[in-house]
A and B are shown apart, each in its own frame.
Chain A
Amino acid sequence: MMRYLKLVNFEINRFSKIYLSLLLITLVSQFAGVIIVTNSLLNDARKIMSEEKLSEAAYITNYGGIDFTHIANTLLFQGPIALSAVALIFYIFLIWYRDWFGKNTFIYRLLMLPTSRLSIYLSKATAIFLMVLGLIAWQIIILPMENALFDSRVPEAFLNMEMSSAGIIKFNPVLNLIIPTTFTQFLLSYGIGLMVMAILFTAIMFERSFRIKGIILGLVYCGIAAALFLTPVFAMASDVFYFYPGELVGTLIALGIIVTGISIWLGSWLLKNRVTV
């Protein structure tokens, strides 16, 4: 157990430079977004007011005011979220392949540690999961600050409404996806995330065990896992079977746990018995 925790710590440290950069990019880009987008919206408004000789009240009646949803839909705000997501998805692969390739073959050291291969497998999965949660937490922390900055920079007359963080999240599809508002949604979003990671890890283990043949096996495994998980959805779509919404979620959660469990078992088994350094 201690070695597992040390490994998690070690894996996080290895990614820490890039990870801290992602946090910083998110912070800078989103705050810059608040300032730049707000200024540009206000400038546009003033320009229109002077061109069309409108009073503030008349402008707002005709064109509407602004609120944080205008910010949250911009590239400066959503770009770093997308960047972080892509970086972590990429890291699901890199966390394994970086140990095999390059001049320093760290995989020798890793697989010769006096700890179970399952610990090694889980430590990498845990590291990525914690880093995802960390990024979300970061967003939850900085969002109210960005919101406050926005409120302070917009003259009251132009402000449609002071939104709460919960409101911002609710009205933005991207934020709504990464920051679940209900427990069921949390289970679905993050459960599916974990499952996908486990399936990808297992596909990587297939490739590391059987090389070119392994790529095919890995893809086949991804297909089977996806098909198994989505069985109830297919069943409903083809009118074979009907689930009540509660039943559907329950079935998906149960299948998700099964698929994740099989993936972890198979992946760590391959790592223990079939992988070649």
Chain B
Amino acid sequence: MNVNTREPVYLQVVRHFKEQIAIGKFVAGQEIPSRRELAASLNINPNTAQKAYKEMEEQGLIHTERNFPSQITTNETVLQAVRQELILAAVDSFVDAIRPINVPVDELLRVVKEKYSEEIREGEEE
């Protein structure tokens, strides 16, 4: 995780988790690292890890039962929402970037399609 120093670090950790969930690195019901392990692996302050877990708890991404390690939620609705949220966030920033160039939608979609397929093909070849 590359830390952006202008955005709350705990929110970046939450987003990092969401990405892991979206790409299937974390699956429903999976145990997640303790805040101590998380802090060490992401090179962040243990307090920040704590705060990130609290936020994820509030968002329903993880849940903790007394004296057990925290787990990724098994609530499918929440997990689907995470995927949606990430897709929307990425598209939002893409749209923000492309808007000033004023490209017609059809052309844009064609270019996106070409580029995106190419990227995926290259990714598979590697």
Note whether A and B contact each other (Cβ less than 8 A): no
